[in-house]
Structure 1
């Protein structure tokens, strides 16, 4: 800006130049730093003396603080991001699950409790193999043992146990392997109920979420009870009841402290630690469980010492006892009777447990005593009453060793035990027990049947021919009436297997099962009626509601009363003086032995007015036995069983009426129902079991009293 008209341009500048009239410059007072700091001369740094230093606190204090601050900061950041990442993982896998509103504990797989005619347990079947037991009813040692070894903080955590997870993590790091798991009982239950046994992050996350839900929806006792009734204890046993029956042959209600410790110990490795596989390992693990229980104060020192001194438990490698064959048979029939089980059921069978055990003991004893000497390894027995109810069924020497049921599934040649159907066909064609045939070598086409040891008797009656099991005469009768007639006769009485239409059928060359062969003899024992063979009498729900009940049906007459009398006359001779003499036990009885070529099969099927029982001995691979015939082992087993079954009962005559002096005549037998003079009928059509004569006294055994209830005194 010009002054006094001076038009010169003046440029701004800094400093004391006289060209700056207004002193536009920065002086010392305009600086931030102190004037003396600017004007003071610089001092030379003094050299640091050796061996001298500042105090450590003054030198490092601020640095340590800063580093600690940074550590806290980054730890917090890392923790925050970890939480965010964990939340993301939980959200991701949780989103793959159904809505929590749809979650529900699935029903426990139905259990089928199978009991005998007198209500005693035979077996449990189903996915669990045992009925559900409440905490209040099971042994109190079981839940204590499981909590002590599997989840000590079960009563305090909320489904997931962080302390348990941390402890397991440390232990696994120390050992360098997965030595412990951190899952709670609730998590294990969640896995068993809802998830597959995959070892993935996703499954563990879902397991934890489900565990939290279970804890919200159910009490601790409910969770523990569900767990104990569903968890796997090895050897095919799910739940404490199945495991107790499997390993100790008792209910979970009666388990001791030591046994409870063994059950709890199995949970770590059910298959490896099973006492059926490794009794020593199971016992060692049980000792660990007992120690854990003592640490938790669940048992006293005295209880601990008593439990640890108990002998080790050794269980069979599979379910044992011949009643297991019955249980398998029941399960095979169950679907046909009621369809697929949807809830726990109680099945009442026709089997008498005492008779069952008697049959089992007889078969086992004979095999143990004679098996090695006679080269025989298996046996089977079936006993059926006049209504078709199976009273005993043994399918083999030992169910634990082989679950194959030879009584109902094995088809074997019956040998001469098939001859009664040949003789019945001949009687119905006009022959009588007194008819005579020439027992001599014969030839039918290219076939030349021969008698045992090739001995022949010459002219004999049909009664003698059947009692002595003469093959020549049986072949002559089969040729006379024709193989198709023999087959029709056998099928009418109950044979269901396919039979070959050739003359050799007279000697039992077509295969049948012991059950069907025995069932086909029942009409001889009950007066000519064919019953429906059955093992189930009633099926109820666990609450007691009956959903099936067997009713004696109106039976068809398949053999006339006269022909029943004729057959019983002939087959009584087989027991009295013929090949079945070893079977005699004091009751009127009849039957027929059978031995196949090279002694591969040995049979005896016999009966009284009360029971029809068939016995078979042989080898599964068809190897010949050493001189075993139907008149040896089978008759001995039959005698032992039937004597026990009839002990204490008064003898009853066999049914049927035949007048040997009446003129012979041919009787046509219709499959239609006819009058049944030997059995009384109620107005409903059901059959009253025959009532024997008055009791002549004598002691009554358990088996006798049961048969007495069945048939009267």
Structure 2
């Protein structure tokens, strides 16, 4: 009897202990269920995309990570990862007891740690919340966090977090970043062979990376493929074929990995942070996507033109900025010849005198005022100008002291870059009015209202010049230069969208007449004629040369481009060095627009063309031997016939002749193309 009593008492005690343990376990699990997981700070790589939506560079603080949904990861990579890392992932509750038992037996057999048995959930808990130190406290926390992850998230969510978190070597975290690094493609595009190779890397990136040891990487890939075949995931024949496949890897450290257009990249960071107020931490770790205006073909053409335009052993520098005048979109940017050795972006340098490339701003002011017309004449000869109420004088000279010593008109002055004509013009127009026009065109650099302003003696940046000339190309409407189209957060929500401001600076008729005049720069006798054979389309522009700077700023209907060459320290240019801007401009323009059919500048309302006598500036007679068809803003064309040949005017059909002038210009371009 005492024995039965003791037995009953023992059973009650044991039952009570089991109940207490059960309640304790239930209470602990309930605690884990309601307890929030630690906040994990998982940075995501932000991306910069070109105008085609292709990734051109990334921003990240040490870790290159691009999170994507599970549906955007190749099923091959998902299956390969599960096959080699956690075959019973969808069956266990965070711990694989069978795997743990198997690993224990193997380790006991070899008297060392040969196999691990961590599930994907355990690995994720460790990577998200813990260090990799081998302590009991860390193991206990890992177990707790593993249980919590299984309680709080579905299996697919855990798998998605794992594939976006795991390290694949060479700074790449997550499947998307790794796929871009190794193969130059999205994770969704991975093949079976590529997936099996990638799935083997996380076990030991230094050991299994194909960049580090191709044999080890290939052996592990084939092991994974065979494991997949053994599990019935793929056919044995598929495993064999994938294992024999020669994979193509992006060269480590290539431009595809390090990014293109580095000067533009720096500019994007500046605009995003300093202009748009994007937090730097968000930029580096927030996984945002910045959609830019950069045209990859135009950028490639720009880099090639600059590289080919200056001898490799020269210390001379260059800058190129190209803008679509219709939208304000920046299409290409080269801030120097070698970003690795010098990151200074000369596109925004405000220490360069534009020289004669500034003159079109003066002439546009004169045309708009009505002070001058294309046939207004001044004598090209050494002249001393008096200003400031007679207290000061200014004596400009032409390049190489070359003068016609006769009257020339605006077209001749622009084509030959006559300085005497330009200073005469600014004395008529008023320097303050020219500065006012420059401000409307987007030039903010310091300028003073003195006669030398006509010759571009006050520094401006290539960026300002390209924007100003873009206004000429766009019919007098300035569109604010734009580099960022929109910015999306990591969830795809738009947090910024560009709305470039548009300002009508002058009417289209005045802009067109100026453009017509600037086309002469590339005609015979013009300062840009030496590169006219390279450009097989209508183009307008202006050269500019000072002792230390050389420019060509010009445009087609689709692109406005400023090219500067010179030395960073203001060293004087040799004659051959001063002639390098124009070939760079010509080569870039033709390559950038190689897929675009040539277009004429659109003829707006309010433009008329009449035949003029260049010597007198009056209407040409029908028998005038040197008559020239000239465009005018309606109402400013000459009405008096020169009378030198005693006959009537050669033309009075202004609108019709304007179209004829356009056709003539087009045929001139066509013949230039055909002859080359």
> Do Structure 1 and Structure 2 share a fold, with TM-score over 0.5?
yes
Distance 1:452 1:163 in 2: 90
CA pair 539-507 structure 1, distance change in 2 beyond 3 A: same
Mapped contact 2:200–2:224 kept (Cα < 8 A): no
Q: How do 1:513-662 residues align onto structure 2 when only pairs under 5 Å count?
A: 513-537=461-485, 550=498, 555-561=502-508, 563-577=510-524, 578-581=526-529, 582-583=531-532, 585=535, 587-598=537-548, 602-617=550-565, 627-629=577-579, 632-641=582-591, 643-644=593-594, 646-647=596-597, 652-653=602-603, 657=607, 658-659=632-633, 662=636
Q: How do 1:96-495 residues align onto structure 2 when only pairs under 5 Å count?
A: 101-103=35-37, 131-146=66-81, 158=94, 185-195=120-130, 206-234=141-169, 237-261=172-196, 263-264=198-199, 267=202, 280-281=211-212, 283-294=214-225, 296-297=227-228, 300=236, 302-303=240-241, 305-307=243-245, 309-310=246-247, 313-317=250-254, 319=257, 322=260, 329=267, 332-334=270-272, 349-350=292-293, 353=295, 356-361=296-301, 363-364=303-304, 367-368=307-308, 371-372=311-312, 379-390=319-330, 392-395=331-334, 401=340, 404=343, 406=345, 409-411=348-350, 413=352, 414-425=354-365, 430-433=371-374, 434-440=376-382, 451-453=398-400, 455-459=402-406, 460-471=408-419, 473-474=421-422, 485-495=433-443
Distance 1:242 1:325 in 2: 23
Distance 2:339 2:123 in 1: 31
1:16: which partner in 2? none
CA pair 549-348 structure 1, distance change in 2 beyond 3 A: same
Q: CA deviation at 1:290?
A: 1.3
Q: Deviations over 1:299-348 (max 9, x none)?
A: 755235424x4456523355456467666655554565686679876665
Q: Which moved more, 1:461-470 or 1:180-189?
A: 180-189
Q: Deviations over 1:225-261 (max 9, x none)?
A: 2122234445554432233223322111222345435
Q: CA deviation at 1:424?
A: 3.7
Q: Deviations over 1:459-516 (max 9, x none)?
A: 4434323322345554665677676554433222112344577765555454444333
Mapped contact 1:540–1:547 kept (Cα < 8 A): yes
For normalisation by structure 1, the TM-score amounts to 0.62
CA pair 630-102 structure 1, distance change in 2 beyond 3 A: same
Q: CA deviation at 1:357?
A: 0.9
Question: Number of matched residues?
Answer: 556
Q: Secondary structure at 1:393's aligned position in 2?
A: strand
CA pair 628-488 structure 1, distance change in 2 beyond 3 A: same
Q: Secondary structure at 1:467's aligned position in 2?
A: helix
Distance 1:142 1:379 in 2: 44
Distance 2:313 2:172 in 1: 38
CA pair 437-268 structure 1, distance change in 2 beyond 3 A: farther
Mapped contact 1:149–1:289 kept (Cα < 8 A): no
Distance 1:200 1:486 in 2: 76
Mapped contact 1:244–1:250 kept (Cα < 8 A): yes
Q: Secondary structure at 2:94's aligned position in 1?
A: coil
| Unaligned stretches of 5+ residues in structure 1 | 1-93, 665-692, 695-713
Q: Which moved more, 1:229-238 or 1:544-553?
A: 544-553
Q: Deviations over 1:622-669 (max 9, x none)?
A: 7768525255322322431464253175763478742598389xxxxx
Q: Secondary structure at 2:417's aligned position in 1?
A: coil
Mapped contact 2:93–2:147 kept (Cα < 8 A): no
Q: Secondary structure at 1:516's aligned position in 2?
A: helix
Distance 1:207 1:596 in 2: 70
For normalisation by structure 2, the TM-score amounts to 0.65
Q: CA RMSD in A?
A: 5.1
Q: CA deviation at 1:592?
A: 1.3
Distance 2:599 2:430 in 1: 42
Mapped contact 1:421–1:489 kept (Cα < 8 A): yes
